[in-house]
Structure 1
């Protein structure tokens, strides 16, 4: 992450504070993606106060973060909702909470301007699961014996079989794969590692890929997923693009990793699996997550349970 790019166009006081905050975040061993999200939210607020608020003349611009008031943030959130989306505005709200909390800890502010700013309400969209039929169609596009077919099938089966996050699968290292015990070591959010087992079909796909991988020029690269050409490992964005491409080839719309994560939660609940165990397998810390995931198929589970119980039909 280049801090200079994030701070481009900001008043000097904003740039100085973001530089110092980034040092604190790095000292706290925050992941680069988290640092970027936090810093970008603060930088966008700073630019908004220069580029937009001055034009609207609704508040005095704040050339220093310590001059930011509740009204500034509310104007910024409303602008984000209007020009981006409510979910983006919520993302910025959370980043700004952390920024102004840090300013209070630094004793540059007595009270955060975020204290009375309400979170933007967002629509709870149900993410459709990616079930067996659609997954079979996608896997059918990987039937070749070439390197890309073997690699892509292995990646897709890992998503389907484990419900892991995009960043977790993309970030797998060669040493994270244990074919002797049929398991993968995922490096989850908050630097929380967990080991998850995989089934025979996923194991076979991984084995075939690893045999082909061993013959590649970049075989000594620590990252598990190698590119078709060159030596730069496949990134999260590269995996995302691959899934979209395989979806188009299969005629399946909107293919992305999180749909398999929702499907995993749905299948687990449908089989009567324990919620606590599901949280461990998927790397969740909040009790709210099991309710959110698989919610798009909750009606199906309810109907199946209704049919099984035969309520009102036993007499």
Structure 2
């Protein structure tokens, strides 16, 4: 048997288990298409690597093999986030294998990829946001886009949550919307006065675009549910037209919502609930962001701040 033949046989054997796992994610876990596609890419990459080394069954993979895979990916230039996702995909896959009786141990359990450098989420200045949102929309599509922008900022929802909204999820009389978040967790989010007015304007225009029996709140020119990529493109177009000085994407509005809420209220638990975070540790990054803002203010204003460019006191006396 040639090396290519051995590789093909090993790859096919490894792929069979991957296909079963992806079916489990889709039909039992009801994971999103985005999540399933990510697992498919990462596990296919791992299968390629292991098959090339003559490993034809997942139980034969050792912890050292997983570490070597991550090291090889790191040498090829993969980012820490990609390595973390790959390790997580393998850990989850092996947990399923063990539950199915297909593997006795999880070789990825104790493997930790290089840590990614801590990065604070980018936000938009309140005044810049106000100028952008106060612009008057022109045509029907701009009325829809304006309603989306207001909703993102009033409720801090994710992109997938916004495009997944149906008409029945919106209750303007109560000032709230019902969204389906990560892990199929449902929550209610507030809809502020300005967002409600923008949504009312869109609901008046929507029948002219929506296809018959379409339930989506936000629809495209074709009358069907608006896609995530379309939202991102239209949002950037709006920002450029209004002269926003920074790049705009849906998650930046979510970050801005969380930061501005925390700066005003200092209620971390409330912000956690509004964002739909299962773990408050995820929300705590915004406390670091708030401190970074305060530190900049301090450096700019305090007479004893070390970062100020003012001339130091040279008299040498102590109070």
On whether the aligned pair clears a TM of 0.5, the verdict is yes
Instruction: State the alpha-carbon separation in 2 of the partners of residues 219 and 199 from structure 1.
Output: 29
- Partner of 2:114 in structure 1? 120
Give the corresponding residue for 1:135: 129
Choose from 85, 89, 108 the match for 1:91: 85
Equivalences, count: 294
Conserved 8 A contact 1:213-1:219? no
2:229 paired with 1:237: yes
In our comparison, the structure showing a higher alpha carbon Rg is 2
Task: After TM superposition, list the pairs within 5 Å mapping 1:171-250 onto structure 2.
Answer: 171-218=164-211, 220-227=213-220, 229-249=221-241, 250=243
Distance of 1:273 and 1:293 partners within structure 2: 10
Correspondence for 1:312: none
CA contact (8 A) 2:9 2:56 kept: no
1:62 counterpart (24, 40, 55): 55
1:24 is aligned to 24
Contact 1:263 1:294 in 2 (8 A): no
Match of 2:158 in 1: 165
Q: For 1:231-282, what per-residue CA distance to the aligned partner results, in whole angstroms no more than 9, with x for missing partners?
A: 3321122212222222333353331112122222222221234222211111
* Partner SS state of residue 293, structure 1: helix
The alpha-carbon deviation at position 185 of structure 1 amounts to: 0.8
Whole-Å separation in 1 of the counterparts to 2:10 and 2:174? 52
Match of 2:271 in 1: 278
Matches of 1:280 and 1:148, distance apart in 2: 31
Question: Which SS does the other structure have where 1:83 is aligned?
Answer: coil
Q: Which runs of 4+ in 1 moved over 6 A?
A: 303-307
Unaligned runs of 5+ in 1: 1-7, 55-59, 308-315
The 2-side partners of 1:269 and 1:9 are apart by 55
Taking a change above 3 Å as real, the CA distance of residues 219 and 298 of structure 1, as seen in their structure-2 partners, is farther
| 1:137 CA displacement | 4.6
Tell me if the contact between 1:128 and 1:297 (Cα under 8 Å) persists in the aligned partners: no
Q: Residue 129 of structure 1: SS of its match in structure 2?
A: coil
Q: Which residue of 1 aligns with 2:255?
A: 262
Q: RMSD between aligned alpha carbons?
A: 2.9
Q: Which residue of 2 aligns with 1:57?
A: none
TM-score normalised per structure 1: 0.83
CA distance in 2, matches of 1:13, 1:138: 54
Cα distance change of structure 1 residues 152 and 24 upon mapping to structure 2, 3 Å threshold: same
Unaligned runs of 5+ in 2: 1-7, 301-319
CA contact (8 A) 2:210 2:219 kept: no
From the superposition, tell whether residues 135 and 41 of structure 1 become closer, same or farther in structure 2 (CA, over 3 Å).
Answer: same
The answer as to whether partners of 2:13 and 2:57 remain within 8 angstroms in 1 is yes
Q: Distance in 1 between matches of 2:217 and 2:144?
A: 10
Mapped partners of 1:297, 1:262: distance in 2? 11
